[in-house]
Amino acid sequence: MDSPDIRALVQTITDNVERVVIGKRREVELVIVALLCRGHVLIEDVPGVGKTVLTKAVARSIGSSFKRIQFTPDLLPSDVTGVNIFNQQNATFEFRPGPIVSQMVLADEINRATPKTQAALLEAMEEAQVSIDGVTHPLPHPFIVLATENPIDFEGTFPLPEAQLDRFLLRLSIGYPGRHGELEMLDRQHIRHPLDTLEQVISVQALIAAQDAIKSVHVAPVIREYIVSLVEATRNHDDVFLGASPRGSLALFNSVRAWAGIRGRAYVTPDDVKLLAEPTLAHRIIVSPGARMRGADSRQTVRDLLGMIPVPGGDPSSNASERRFPRAFVRA
């Protein structure tokens, strides 16, 4: 793997996106991590912080085909996947692809669609294909879904089921830009939106080559054990009703390889795992009702577990008396 090339490629994309999305470099890099892993991203935040703008800026930067789906309660599954239409001239049915047939798809306000329509994405996100009337149609390569949702507004929304959430490689929040960033945003949009002039900076072929290159990043056996121990811990924690699935282990494994490549390294460190654990695992965890009543949430649970699981190469005796392990970690 040529790490400097990947690092330079990601630097180019990030710098270009930051012309539009100000002061959110880490969030932009996390989206690029998903691109390198051929994974999907759920951007969960309040309205007006740039969720849709971020996805559009990334799509324009890599020059991929791009479609936007505005999810509403009256949206039908066929409006997403496509439909077969009868052609009277040759007496055959023709497939008219829906907006899901694109390299990059923006699923805007995904939780406003009914569960039936949300389920139309399950096959596409997992297998990169859609099935219409018994016929399977492959999706373009690469295929990536960038979905947005507002976690505050519950009226007229349908929470995403666990099967849907588990198909997202990462969940992240953008947050407010800060005073300096907001002032700079006003200056940049004084005449027109910078998104209007944003240009492509890399090719889709370059992205595909980078996707193949990160597979060469070395993950030591102790790091792999660290990943599996962390995921297993989510299933045994007292505050967790449902822990992360094996897909969560793969998500964390692939994400840390991409993050190492972004940093110009050909190997993964424990700090990479600690950094990517929350965005890759928190949305796969269901906290028990009793824990929610105490104010616990899945993000805090992952942070707690990071403090409980011994870090490879660390001193196992350090702070041992201060660690509080759940009962499942205590060996008989």
Residue 85, judged by CB atoms within 10 A of its CB (0-12, 13-18, 19+), counts as exposed
Give pTM, 2 decimals: 0.85
Write out pLDDT tens, residues 112-125. Answer: 999 999 998 999 99
Write out pLDDT tens, residues 132-177. Answer: 888 899 999 889 999 999 887 777 788 888 889 999 999 998 888 8
Predicted local distance difference test score (pLDDT) of residue 315: 53
Write out pLDDT tens, residues 19-67. Answer: 888 888 899 999 999 999 999 999 988 888 888 888 889 989 998 889 9
The per-type count for the chain, helices as H runs and strands as E runs, is: 14, 11
Contact present, 280 and 169 (Cβ < 8 Å): yes
Structural domains for the chain: 3-214 (3.40.50.300), 217-329 (1.10.8.80)
Predicted local distance difference test score (pLDDT) of residue 190: 80
Closest CA to 280 of 306, 254, 262: 254
Write out pLDDT tens, residues 202-259. Answer: 988 999 999 999 999 999 999 999 999 999 999 988 888 888 999 999 999 999 999 9
pLDDT band at 314 (very low <50, low <70, confident <90, very high): low
pLDDT band at 318 (very low <50, low <70, confident <90, very high): very low
Predicted local distance difference test score (pLDDT) of residue 151: 80
* CB-based contacts of 175, cutoff 8 Å, min separation 6: 24, 27, 45, 49
**Average per-residue pLDDT in the chain?**
86
The dihedral of CA 269, 272, 277, 278: what is its sign? positive
Predicted local distance difference test score (pLDDT) of residue 129: 93
Predicted local distance difference test score (pLDDT) of residue 184: 86
The answer on pLDDT for 278 being more than 80 is yes
For residues 54 and 20, what is the distance between their CA atoms, to the nearest angstrom?
Answer: 8
Residue range 281-298: average pLDDT? Answer: 86
pLDDT band at 321 (very low <50, low <70, confident <90, very high): very low
Predicted local distance difference test score (pLDDT) of residue 133: 85
